[in-house]
Amino acid sequence: GLQVSSQRMRNRRKEIACRGDIERLTHCFLSIYESLIPPDEEKEKQKQLLASLEKLVNKEWPRAQLFLYGSCANTFGVSNSDIDVCMTLDDDGTSKSDILLKLAEILESDNLQNVQALTRARVPIVKLMDPVTKISCDICINNVLALVNTKLLRDYAQIDVRLRQLAFIVKYWAKSRGVNETYHGTLSSYAYVLMCIHFLQSRRPAILPCLQGMKATYVVKIDNVDYGYFDKVEELRDFGAVNNESIGFLLWAFFDYWAYCHDYANDVISVRTAGIISKREKDWTRRIGNDRHLICIEDPFEVNHDLGRVVDKYSIKILREEFERAADVLQYDPNPSVKLFEPY
Ligand code: CTP
Ligand code: MG
């Protein structure tokens, strides 16, 4: 029953094709993409800040190391973003809160600005702003999985440039339209990038492979669990070449999928398997605590983690209306490259 009706929903709009002037749109979107890429000097500044922060923390913790993660390291970051840093250090039983409070004290006495320890957040961090470069920075402790998922995203981006192009435009759209705010019940940048990867894995012919479904050439052990995938992406450089869909078309098809084709009642998207998993199979059918599962995006490594869990019954409506608006603008509007990003 359910299977049939979701299949019917997927077929419902088969007859609708994208507009005729899609190549013109592709040009517009590619120039927006180019303008969002951070210049090399900015990357250089970030690295220098990281090195000087590492020197500073090594006075207290000689074996500690600092790593960039998130958008400044996964190649999905636009110009002038804040940077995400993870400090790794040996576990000597000291609580994360105590480490963060000590870290905040050290940073403050070195004249870093706006230093603030957020010890009770889901991911506890210290925030700071470097007065020299004006770069803002969040530092977390021993969040090794975030380093691994950062590498996964970076590796996917190297396989086909259309992923980075699509994700830049989708993130830019989400920020312009106010639907990239997890504290207001909409989705994180990380969730949007996973949606883009899943979407490109599902094209026929596929534009991206399923790296976690291939022989693992990179494996990390965290708390005795192995996390691995195929990371020799230079061998996959022309994987998507048999599919020549343009970025204008893909952007329309992405929003059309989330507006009219995704089965919100039954489906979980999964980059790990390059497919759809049923909510029933994951036991994500009812609300448990604050997890509502109104839009389901499986984390590639923490498989019990639904990136859609921040979405509530009000924000799901806003999100779906925004997907529909974007799909309709791309289908019918005479000037979609302006209308799509109109401030809300
Ligand atoms: N992350 C995670 N689980 C989440 C959210 C984020 O593991 N539920 C990690 C991921 O490694 C992600 C990083 O935190 O790459 C930063 O995620 P996010 O804040 O969503 O944003 P960025 O990718 O940094 O994008 P931007 O800052 O450009 O919006
Ligand atoms: Mg970030």
Q: Is residue 344 part of a domain?
A: no
- Which of 16, 24, 33 has the alpha carbon at shortest distance from 328? 16
Q: What does the alpha-carbon distance between residue 45 and residue 131 come to, in Å, rounded to a whole number?
A: 12
For residue 58, is it within any domain?
A: yes
Residue 13 shares a structural domain with residue 94: no
Whole-number pLDDT of residue 93: 92
pLDDT (tens digit per residue) in 242-285:
999 999 999 999 999 999 999 999 999 999 999 999 999 999 99
Q: Would residue 328 count as lying in a domain?
A: yes
- The DSSP 8-state label assigned to residue 78 in this structure reads P
**326: in domain:** yes
- Both 201 and 296 in a single domain? yes
Number of domains observed in the structure of the chain: 2
Q: Do 215 and 267 fall within a single domain?
A: yes
Atom of ligand 1 nearest to the CA of 193: 23
Domain that holds residue 76: 40-143
Ligand 1 centroid, distance to 89 Cα (angstroms): 21
Report the DSSP beta bridge partners of residue 68: 85
Which residue from 82, 189, 310 has its CB within 8 A of the most atoms of ligand 1, so it is best to mutate? 189
Q: Which ligand is nearest to the CA of 77?
A: 1
Q: Are 161 and 254 contained in the same domain?
A: yes
C-alpha 48/C-alpha 133 separation (Å) is 10
- Residue 267 CA to residue 286 CA, distance in Å, equals 13
| Distance in Å, CA 191 to ligand 1 centroid | 8
Please give the pLDDT value at position 10. Answer: 53
φ/ψ of residue 75, rounded to 5? 70, 10
- What is the model's pLDDT at position 9? 56
pLDDT at residue 20, rounded to an integer: 83
Which among 46, 71, 306, 309 is the best mutation to test ligand 1's pocket, defined by most ligand atoms within 8 Å of the CB? Answer: 71
Query: Residue 225: phi, psi to the nearest 5?
Result: -110, 135
**In a shared domain, residues 121 and 175:** no
Q: Do 299 and 187 share a structural domain?
A: yes
Which segments of the chain have a pLDDT < 50? Answer: 1-2, 4, 8, 11
Distance of alpha carbon 164 from alpha carbon 160, whole angstroms: 8
Question: Which pLDDT score, from 0 to 100, does residue 116 have?
Answer: 97
Domain-ending residue, one of 125, 143, 161: 143
166 & 250 share domain: yes
- pLDDT at position 143, please? 96
Residue 18: per-residue pLDDT: 82
What is the per-residue pLDDT for 290? 77
- Alpha carbon of 178 to ligand 2 centroid (Å): 16
User: Is 233 domain-assigned?
Assistant: yes
What pLDDT was estimated at residue 14?
55
Residues comprising the chain, all counted: 344
Residue 333 identity: D
Atom 9 of ligand 1: nearest residue by CA position: 146
**Ligand nearest 83 Cα, by number?**
2
Position 17 scores a pLDDT of 79
Q: How high is the pLDDT of residue 236?
A: 98
Residue 137 falls within a domain, yes or no?
yes
pLDDT of 1 = 39
Let me know whether 14 and 157 are in one domain.
Answer: yes
Which ligand places an atom closest to the C-alpha of 127?
2
Q: CA 197 to CA 154: how far, in whole Å? A: 11
Q: What is the CATH number of the domain that holds 7?
A: 1.10.1410.10
pLDDT at res. 4? 47
200 and 86 in a single domain? The answer is no
What are the angstrom distances between the C-alpha of 171 and each of 11, 112, 188? 28, 29, 9
pLDDT tens profile 110-130:
999 999 999 999 899 999 999
User: What's the gap in Å between 112 CA and the centre of ligand 2?
Assistant: 19
Around ligand 1, the residues with Cβ closer than 6 Å are: 69-71, 74, 76-77, 81, 84, 146, 149-150, 188-190, 307
CATH of the domain at 62: 3.30.460.10
Which residue in 331, 295, 296 sits closest to 313, CA to CA? 295
Ligand 2 centroid – CA 161 distance (Å): 21
Angle at CA of residue 317, ends 9 and 193, nearest 5°: 75
pLDDT in tens, 62-90: 999 999 999 999 999 999 999 999 999 99
Atom of ligand 1 nearest to the CA of 171: 29
CA dihedral 34, 36, 37, 43 (to 10 degrees): 160
How far does the centroid of ligand 1 lie from the alpha carbon of residue 4, in Å? 36
Query: Which ligand lies nearest to the CA atom of residue 69 in the structure?
Result: 1
CA distance 322 to 250: 17
